[in-house]
């Protein structure tokens, strides 16, 4: 499942199975890349919050054209 916050700049991805989470992450990254590429100055950050909980967000501190992954503290 994907929920959206901040007008297409932050996506929360959750799911009951690895397949659902993986599909959701792929879709959320594609959605986040659209505004990031359109602005030409931001990248995409994928953060893992738990086994089946992630956020995908457009972030100014991630270089343009880059998708970074990290574990949320």
Predicted pLDDT of residue 9: 82
- pLDDT of 4 above 80: no
pTM for this prediction: 0.86
- pLDDT of 26 above 70: yes
CA 20 to chain centre: 15
Query: Would the CA dihedral through 19, 46, 3, 50 be positive or negative?
Result: positive
Q: Among the listed ranges 21-25, 38-42, 43-47, which one has the minimum average pLDDT value?
A: 38-42
Which of the 8 DSSP states describes residue 1? -
């Amino acid at each position: 499942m994907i929920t959206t916050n901040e007008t297409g700049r932050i996506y929360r991805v959750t799911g009951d199975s690895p397949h659902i989470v993986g599909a959701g992450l792929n879709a959320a990254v594609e959605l986040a890349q659209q505004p990031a590429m359109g602005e030409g100055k931001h990248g995409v950050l994928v953060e893992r919050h738990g086994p089946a909980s992630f956020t995908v967000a457009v972030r100014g501190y991630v270089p343009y054209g880059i998708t970074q992954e990290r574990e949320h503290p």
